[in-house]
Amino acid sequence: MTLGRREQRFVHRVVVLITVAVVMGIGVVVVKESGEIRKLIEPSFARDLLLLFAPLAGLAMTGYTLASKTFSSGGLLAEFVALVGSYSLFMAVALPSFFKRELASGEACRFWQLSCEETLSVRDNRITLLFVILALILVSVALYRARVIRAV
């Protein structure tokens, strides 16, 4: 199966959005966890909101810049779903550093901390699992809407 030029460009945009979302997520984790940055900027609720929602504007601008010609060709819904899917991937990377769980100090956790006792502060990776699944579903829907993935 060969893809047309429009489908190839859409796949390229989706890959770029996913890459940008993961890199921004890693950057947010570094900013959130860095002791040096905490010395300069005191942690606050407003800073946390900015760290979570500012990348949405960056992803939207990246998506708009890459997709400016496809909006007129009926691909707006697929572009929007791809954007939300990439933001979900960003949330999968960044959100666990905002929400921590208390785990028992000597306990070995099974399958991404789904059955752990609460006492030691660690990242909650259940959030990562949830948002990765959401991102996979949304990106698959976007690729299907753009006719990259065809039903058999």
Better pLDDT: 83 or 43: 83
Residue 38's pLDDT is 76
Percent of the chain exceeding pLDDT 90 equals 0
| Element (DSSP H or E) covering residue 39 | helix 35-40
Q: How far apart are CA 27 and CA 21, in angstroms?
A: 10
Do residues 123 and 102 lie in contact, with contact meaning Cβ atoms separated by under 8 Å? Answer: no
Better pLDDT: 20 or 103: 20
Whose tokens are 């752990």? That residue is 116
Which segment of 4-18, 93-107, 134-148 scores lowest on mean pLDDT? Answer: 93-107
Backbone angles phi, psi at 7, to 5 degrees: -65, -40
Better pLDDT: 65 or 135: 135
Residue 10's pLDDT is 79
According to the per-residue pLDDT averaged within each range, which of 14-18, 98-102, 107-111 is highest?
14-18
Do residues 10 and 146 lie in contact, with contact meaning Cβ atoms separated by under 8 Å? Answer: yes
Residue 68's pLDDT is 59
Tens-digit pLDDT profile for residues 38-71 = 777 777 788 888 888 888 888 777 766 665 555 5
